Every structure is written in C-alpha cells, then in structure tokens.
Structure 1
C-alpha cells in the first residue's frame, strides 16, 4: 500500500521563482520514468521529509499532482544545502508495480555478539545490499541477528535472511560483519575509524542548478 503525497505542477523555472518556492516551504522536484515524459512539480518539504522518515527511503509514494493523474513513484535522489541543512531538490522515479526493480536496502545488525562480550571488535563491512523486487515488496531493511558470532567469525551475504518476495543480488561470499581481536590500542582505534558508516548519497551535496 502506497502513501499519498500532494504535489503541484511547476511551469516557471526562473531562479527567483524557485527561491520563493523554497522560502514558502516547497521543494522543486522532477518526476520521470521509463518511457514517461518528465514533469516539473513542487511538494511540501516537511511532508516529504516526514513521509521518507516514517515509510522508509524505498517507500512507494502515490504522488497526487493537482489537475493531473496520480502516479506511483519512489524517491530516487535528493539534494541538500549543506550550509542551511535544507532539502532543496528531489527526483521521483515513476514505478511499474508489476515489474521488479533493483534498489539498495540497508542491513541492520541486531544483538550483541558473544565475541564482543569477550573483548573482540565488531567490524561491519557492508551497510546495504542490492535487492531485486517488485516496488511494493521491497523490504525497508534487512535485519540479521549477530548475537551468536564469536571472535574470528565472519558473516557473509549468504547468511542474511532470505524471502520469497525479493532477491539479494550481491556476491554471496561478500563479507557483511567480522568479529576481530585487536592486539594493540592502535588497532582498536584503527578499526573504529574504518567502521564509520559512509554518508548517504545526496545528504552532503550542495545546491545544483537543476531547477
């Protein structure tokens, strides 16, 4: 089931008009898809952020465009103003609910590994995997229990939970999690630095002239 987000058509692409649009709490956006004509629209910034926060990045959104036919879309990309920390542009991709598509899905670890309790260090090498599924069957995230992992254990893609309604495309032997035993304080600091989760695409991008 998709969530509804209201939108209005946008005909004037002048920089001054776009600036006023943002000042009023709206975000300029583009709607496009395979064999679909691109449309320029605007959506409420707060409503878009709330929708993505509540429903997930891969949620199917019914974009209710004023004076036009609603379309099922997914948020494909977005740009942020890194100084003001404001959403400044969004790209929506029109989806076919009957066709499978490939998307990135987050991997979430659950539980405290036995190896960590014994002094080891957890290193997560893979924070998301590529998944193929129909739009309304894409999991919000893939959760894996790591509480049984001991020092020296490695969890790979093939160990992730499987489901009939989606397929994980990554190499089955790709490492997701390793429980390491550091030998020095320097090793611990190095592992912690390497274990920092990479920044999501689009979050630190500055304003681009796409309007």
Structure 2
C-alpha cells in the first residue's frame, strides 16, 4: 500500500525561481527510473518530511504530479542545508512493483541483554543491512531480541530474523552486536565514544546545486 504525495512540474530551473520555491515551503526534486525519462518537480517540504516520518524511509509513495500520470516512487536521496537544517533537494526513484530491489533497512534492538544487567557494555557494530525484496515487501525495520545475550556473546547477521518475502544480503558472519566486559573506566569511556549511531540510509548531505 502506498501513500500519496502531491507534486507539480518544475519547468523553470533558474536559481531565483528555485530560491522562491524553497522560500514558499516547496522542495525542488527529480523523478527518475530505469528506462524512464527524468522529470523536474517540486513537493511540499513539510508533507515530504511527514510522509517519511510516518511511513518510513523505504515507503512506497504514489507521486501525484499535477496534469500528469501518478507514479510509484521511493525517496532515493535528499540534501539538507547544513546551516538551516532544511531540505533543499530530493531524488525520487520510480519503482517496478513486480521487480526486486536492494535497499538499506534499519536494525532495531529489543530488550536489555543479561550481560548488560551484569555490568557488561553493549556495542552495536551494524545499524542497517542490505535487503533484497519487492518494493511492497520491504520491511520498515528488522527487529531482533537481544535479551538473552550474555557478556562475551556476539550476535551476527546470521542471527537476524528471516522472512520468505525478503533476503538479507550482508555477510552472515558480520557482527551486529557484541556484549563487552570493560576492565577499566578508560575502556568504558572508549567504548561509549565509539557508539555514535550514524545518520539514516542515503545520508543527508550538505547543500549542492541541483538546480
């Protein structure tokens, strides 16, 4: 099931026109796909952000382009203004609902490990995995229960939940989570400093000229 997002065609690519679009709450964007002609469009910034937050990064979006035929797309990439923290451009990829595609899917940990309760430190090495599935069968996230993990235990890609409608492409031996036993306070601080969670798939980049 897809969610609808309204869009308008963008004919004028002048910098002044693009700036006015952004000032009016619109985001200039491009729609493209395999053997498909690319189109320049604009969508409402708030509506796009709301759609991604409510439906997930891999949501199927029915792009309702004014005076044109709606198309099923996924948000492929986006750029942010690093200073204003505002959307400045978006790329939408036209999907074929009958064909499998490869996308990044977040890994969500559930539960408090036994080893952490006993003083161990959780270290997550992998925050997302590559998944192959048809567009309408892509999981929003892959959840794994880590409650039973004890100090010294390692959870790998092979331990992640399986499903018939998607395939995880990462090396099965890749480490997802480790429960470590720190020996000194310095070890604890070092581990904590290494655990910064990365930004979403298709990392937001600083503004680049897409006019």
TM-score, normalising length from structure 2?
0.98
Match of 2:163 in 1: 163
Q: SS of the counterpart of 1:46?
A: helix
Residue by residue over 1:156-201, the C-alpha shift from the partner in whole angstroms, topping out at 9 and shown as x without a partner, is 0010000000000000000000000000011001111111112334
d(CA) in 1 for partners of 2:72 and 2:198? 29
CA distance in 2 between partners of 1:10 and 1:130 (Å): 33
Alignment deviations for residues 124-165 of structure 1 (CA, whole Å, 9 cap, x no partner):
000000000000000000000000000000000010000000
Q: Is the 8 A contact 1:78 1:87 kept in 2?
A: yes
Structure 1 unpaired stretches of 5+: none
Q: Where in structure 2 are the equivalents of 1:163-202 lying within 5 Å? A: 163-200=163-200, 201-202=202-203
How many residues align structurally? 210
| 4+ residue runs over 3 A deviation | none
The alpha carbon displacement at 1:82 in A equals 1.0
Paired with 1:78 and 1:199, the residues of 2 have a C-alpha distance of 12
The reply on whether 1:140 has 2:140 as its aligned counterpart is: yes
Find the counterpart in structure 2 of residue 19 from structure 1. 19
The residue that corresponds to 2:42 in the other structure is 42
User: SS of 2:130's equivalent?
Assistant: strand
Query: Alpha-carbon deviation of 1:207?
Result: 1.4
Distance 1:83 1:161 in 2: 40
Separation (CA, whole Å) in 2 of partners of 1:174 and 1:27: 38
Structure 2 match to 1:131 = 131
Q: CA deviation at 1:13?
A: 0.3
Q: Is the 8 A contact 1:32 1:94 kept in 2?
A: yes
Q: CA RMSD in A?
A: 0.7
Alpha-carbon separation, structure 1, partners of 2:206 and 2:78:
11
Given that 1:80 and 1:202 are in contact with CA atoms closer than 8 Å, whether structure 2 keeps it comes out as: no
Distance 1:38 1:157 in 2: 37
Say yes or no: does 1:93 pair with 2:93: yes
